[in-house]
Amino acid sequence: EVYTSLAELEELLSTEAVLINTLENYIRSEEQKIDLLKRYADIYQKQHNKAAEDVQLYISNPINAYTLVKRLTTDWKQVEALISTDVSNDYMANITYIKETMKFPTDEDLNGAAVALTRLQDTYRLDTSSLARGELNGVKYSAELSAADCFELGRQSYNNGDYYHTQLWMREADSRLRRETNETVDRSDILEYLAFSTYKQGNIPLALDLTNKLLEILPTHQRALGNKIYYEDELEKSFSKRKGDDDSEEIAFEGPSITDPYGREHYEMLCRGEIELPTEMTSRLKCRYVNNNNPFLLIAPFKLEEAHRKPDLYIFHDVMADSEIETVKRLAQPRFRRATVQNSQTGELEIAQYRISKSAWLKEEEHKHVADIAQRVTDMTGLTMETAEELQVVNYGIGGHYEPHFDFARKDEKNAFKSLGTGNRIATVLFYMSDVAQGGATVFPAVGAALWPKKGTAAFWHNLHASGDGDKLTRHAACPVLAGSKWAEPAAFFLPFVYKFAPPSEALRYAAGKAPVLRLEGPEEPPEDFFSLGLMGDFGRDCKRGIRNK
């Protein structure tokens, strides 16, 4: 009964003082949380308003796409952690409901967006600081990245074992942090990743230096203390080794060969538009009207552009109407799945880093527009759609790409023809259903050709030689999309089974109903110039060959 004694009442006052103090501390910390939450809400709202000005433009930028995913993954986790569960059960229940019922990116999405950004950085030689300033090739596109945004890019790279990009982005995070008034990440965290990735990249003196900087901030950091001893040890060892050694241990660095047509460097140069076809070839390439001797095409012939000879790469101009493109997109979008590739060892379809896009398949019966497009493909190429794949619709998002590959199956591949219906892929038609603001070319590294997407056009080439063997020079790739969104509709034709190893020229005749169904042996030359059949004159003025986006 404390009230009976004044002394004890006095003690109660002390208790009360502590309580007040605790309460005030609590309020202060809640206020800090609320301030922080307000700051988050403010950033979210600002970015959201900016996106709303032009949604397409906003999401077609790789930096915006990355920060949007990050806001809803890493950043959102921090927001949730700040909303204390005890007092905010209703809000948390709301948030859980929203996450369950609406589209929400996963950690995998964040990783994918980060990897895509680093891929773009490599392919298009983008400098880290400009990217962080929201610039793509000198054009300011998006909001700047915060130190935390850069840190997250570094952390994702680190988790993928990619220490090269970890270093680049952690360095950028560090330099951004120095300019931040409200610091978005702890410098010690940056230094820890930076030191370790520097060590992994083989620079022990610098790793040690960075670890010492970390220890200046956090002198008792356990891992840093351990690493410091280890780095010092390693340096000591390599020092004594060097003293007693001759120079036979010198490491010879070998750079990638630029001229190797199958090399990465060559591929990336093509993607950047740095390689041009020789004038001896381009001066002979023609643009002309063709009707393929098809009566329906007499009044409205196709505009055909030769983009390369041997292998012959063609571009058909104006072969898909905007209304058809809208229909195809609308039908495909709800069915989009990550595109797969066939594993050459197991023959199974699987997803792979080297093909990043979403795709769906359309049947002719689904819509008149789809049937019209299929008929047009036959009119364009003279190839029957009877043994073709269903039309595939592909959308490449941020950094989406398809690395160099053949469209034909090699005989040594397991189940080479299993997913190929009746035979190997004789030819490919590739409709472009969008312009692409930057990047996204279809390139043929072995011959140095690049086809730049233009809405409504279609590329066409044969994958097989007359003998039925694959033409290795048709190896091609879809370069990463740097800005914008690329929509394409590749369609492949299969040889009828009986013609699996027969000359394509025979298959063409078969397709046109002029050849009997027979298995033919031996090589045969294809028609000298298939498209010269319906020569009707030049459309030079409309034929804008090789227009390259920025």
Ligand X SMILES: O=C(O)CCC(=O)C(=O)O
Question: Which residues of the chain form contacts with ligand X (CB under 6 A)?
Answer: 402, 407, 430, 442, 476, 478, 488, 490
Q: 140 has which bridge partners?
A: 135
How far apart (Å, rounded) are the C-alpha atoms in residues 478 and 441? 6
| Beta carbon of residue 342, minimum distance to Fe ion (angstroms, whole number) | 12
The amino acid that residue 36 corresponds to is: L
The stretch among 38-46, 147-155, 404-412, 456-464 that binds Fe ion (CB under 5 A) is: 404-412
Instruction: Give the H/E segment covering residue 215.
Output: helix 204-217
Answer for the pair 507, 487: CB distance below 8 angstroms, yes or no: no
Residue whose CB is nearest to Fe ion in the complex, by number? 407
CB closer to ligand X, 115 vs 481: 481
| Residue closer to Fe ion (CB basis): 407 or 471 | 407
Residue 324 binds which entry of Fe ion, ligand X, none, with Cβ cut-offs from 5 to 8 Å by kind?
Answer: none
Give 61 or 442: the residue with its C-beta nearer to Fe ion: 442
- Residues in 273-302 that interact with Fe ion by CB under 5 A: none
Pick between residue 227 and residue 442 the one whose CB is nearest to Fe ion.
442
CB of 331 to ligand X, least distance (A): 18
430 binds, among Fe ion, ligand X, none (CB under 5 to 8 A by kind): ligand X
Does position 489 interact with Fe ion (CB under 5 A)? The reply is no
Residues linked to residue 401 through DSSP beta bridges, in sequence order: 356
Nearer to ligand X, 151 or 402 (CB): 402
- Per DSSP, the three-state class of 476 is strand
Q: Which does 478 bind (CB under 5 to 8 A by kind): ligand X, Fe ion, none?
A: ligand X
Q: Least separation, in Å, of the C-beta of 389 and Fe ion?
A: 12
Three-state SS at 313: strand
**Helix (H, G, I), strand (E, B), or coil: what is residue 312?**
coil
Q: 301 vs 490, which CB is nearer to ligand X?
A: 490
Q: Least separation, in Å, of the C-beta of 355 and ligand X?
A: 8
Among positions 131-150, residues that touch Fe ion (CB under 5 A) are: none
As given in the structure block, the two tokens for residue 530 are 């298939």
State how far the alpha carbon of 111 is from the alpha carbons of 108, 154, 173, 256, 338, in Å: 5, 11, 17, 28, 15
Nearest to 302 by CA among 537, 487, 490: 537
CA pair distance 292, 45, nearest whole angstrom = 57
> Three-state secondary structure along 445-480?
CCCCEEECCCCCCEEEEECECCCCCECHHHCEEECC
CB under 5 A: which stretch of 28-36, 293-301, 405-413, 497-505 binds Fe ion? 405-413
The Cα–Cα gap between 219 and 208 comes to: 14
Residue 350 CA, distance from chain mean position: 17
Binding partner selected for residue 60 from ligand X, Fe ion, none, CB under the kind-specific 5 to 8 Å limit = none
In three-state secondary structure terms, 143 is coil
Number of residues forming the site for Fe ion (CB under 5 A): 1
Inter-CA distances, 48 with 60, 64, 455, Å: 15, 11, 29
In the bound complex, what is the minimum distance in angstroms from residue 340's beta carbon to ligand X?
11
Residue from 75, 149, 306, 407 in contact with Fe ion (CB under 5 A): 407
C-beta of 425: minimal distance to Fe ion in Å?
A: 9
Q: Decide whether 405 or 545 has the Cβ nearer to ligand X.
A: 405
Compute, in degrees rounded to 10, the torsion defined by CA atoms 455, 458, 459, 462.
Answer: 160
Residue closer to ligand X (CB basis): 261 or 527: 261
Question: Tell me, what amino acid is at 413?
Answer: E
Q: Binds 488, which of ligand X, Fe ion, none (CB < 5 to 8 A, cut-off by type)? A: ligand X
* Smallest distance from Fe ion to CB 198, Å: 39
Select from Fe ion, ligand X, none the partner in contact with residue 63, using the beta carbon and a kind-dependent cut-off of 5 to 8 Å: none
Distances (CA, A) of 99 to 80, 93, 108, 188, 203: 12, 10, 16, 32, 43
Least separation, in Å, of the C-beta of 427 and ligand X? 12
Write the CA distances from 340 to 146, 303, 393, 417, 485, integer angstroms. Answer: 35, 33, 13, 16, 19
Q: Residue 114 or residue 430: which is nearer to ligand X going by CB?
A: 430
Interface with Fe ion by CB under 5 A: which residues? 407
